[in-house]
Structure 1
Amino acid sequence: MRALVAERGFTLLEVLIALAVFAVLATAGGLAMQHVLQQARQLNERLFASWVADNHLAEMKLQSSTGAGQRVVTIRFAEQSWQVKETRQRSVGWLEVNLQVALSKDGQVLYQTTGWLEIAHGS
């Protein structure tokens, strides 16, 4: 006579619990990855905005603009359109330049900086 051997394996309940745990972990991982990608995109935009501001300030140094005032300049950089809001104020011997850089598509300021340009004597 043969002895009854208990079969080994997983019950349906154990499989369902394992699938539920896997689903929760996969969802959490997906949300974390989405957050990381969004943060990387925002960091990339702020980095490009700082480059746009630095380049614009360098171009202003090459020009001999000594007047106070405001203007908005649209610049194409990194396959995107950027707006640079430039505010110039004269002081003794210097021109203070405040720059605010935003993507043209939404207008949210991503980078802001201040620079000083020396005013040539006689200007």
Structure 2
Amino acid sequence: MNKKVILCVDDEKIILNSLKKQLKTRFGSEFLYEIAESAEEGLEILDELFEDNMEAPIIVSDWYMPGIKGDEFLQRVHEIRPDIVKILLTGQADTAIIESAKKDGYLNEVFYKPWSQDELMSSIESHLGL
């Protein structure tokens, strides 16, 4: 049986490393952890996972990234796989954009940087039914 994957997308390597460490500390070997430094790379990783019949039940994405912004990335993910839980991690997202994304159903949760590790991990656990 294939393991499930948690995908983290952020253009800052230090954020990705921190997220991955927090996720591994909380969930251990229960999941695989993939990181992408752009929305484009995130979409490529998702394509590869789906081709390999792997699940990515959770995506944690930054909002402000070069190229495709996090809300647009999560909207694209939602169009492909609406069942994936989409969490936005941001330091500077536009409140109107966030509210619109939540209303349109392609954003499940928002955390502001610096985030509370306990709150983020508890939210992920809750969405995964753990």
TM-score under structure 2 normalisation? 0.23
Quick check: which one's helix share is greater?
2
Q: 1 or 2 for the larger relative contact order (CA 8 Å, sep ≥6)? A: 2
Quick check: which one's strand share is greater?
1
TM-score under structure 1 normalisation? 0.24
